[in-house]
Amino acid sequence: MVNEESTQILEILLPQMKAHEQRKYFNAILTHVVKDYLGLHINDKDDLPVKPSLAISAIAAMLNNLMKDNELLKDSMVSALTQANLPALDDSIAARRSVLAALAQDDGECTGSSPQ
């Protein structure tokens, strides 16, 4: 789905930008991939275990690559999940799953800093 080389380029470029620019680009990328690849995801309301999805995993991997050494972006994603300030995450459970999966790679983010 995603060319690895392109995420490597973004991994180099994103940290060079100012804080608000990094957040804006990251949010725009997230919004776009959610719209393109998770647009047809059906949200099941039944209480069944959620099925694994290749698209969600791929997006989680990509987001993790982009924010793995970037505390700023991790904090921004945590507050987007908890404060509902990003429409792309509010409209799609699949998107929230991807972001959570990406953040879950770093134990500190999931347990230590996120408000309840």
Partner 1 sequence: MDDFLTPVSTTTVKRAKEPEPLIEVSTKSQSRIAEHIKLKSPEEIYKALKAQPDLESVSRILEHLTADPKEIDGFSLVTPGPVSAQIVDTLISTTIPDYWKAFKETGKHGRLLVKCLRNASGLGAIMSRLRLLIADCRQKNPVHNLRDPSEHIEDLIDILERIFQDDRTSNQIWNDIRIHAQNPIQKRLMWKEYVAQVSSGRILSLVAEAEDVLQTRGSSRKSSWLAHGNDYASWLGRNMAILSKENAVNDESIAAITEIYGKSLSLGYLGPSPENFRLAQS
Helix (H) or strand (E) holding 105: none
For residue 108, which amino acid is it?
Answer: G
Q: Which of residues 32-91 bind partner 1 (CB under 8 A)?
A: 32-33, 36
Closest approach, Cβ 7 to partner 1, in A, equals 8
Binding flags for partner 1, 11-40, as an x/- string (CB under 8 A): -xx--xxx--x--xx--xx-xxx--x----
For residues 38 and 55, the answer to whether their CB atoms sit within 8 Å is yes
Longest dimension (CA), the chain: 44
Closest approach, Cβ 111 to partner 1, in A, equals 31
Closest approach, Cβ 26 to partner 1, in A, equals 9
For residue 6, which amino acid is it?
Answer: S
For residues 67 and 77, the answer to whether their CB atoms sit within 8 Å is yes
* Number of residues binding to partner 1, judged by CB under 8 A: 21
Backbone angles phi, psi at 48, to 5 degrees: -100, 155
When asked if residue 92 is in the footprint of partner 1 (CB under 8 A), the reply is: no
* Contacting residues toward partner 1, per CB under 8 A: 1-3, 5-6, 9-10, 12-13, 16-18, 21, 24-25, 28-29, 31-33, 36
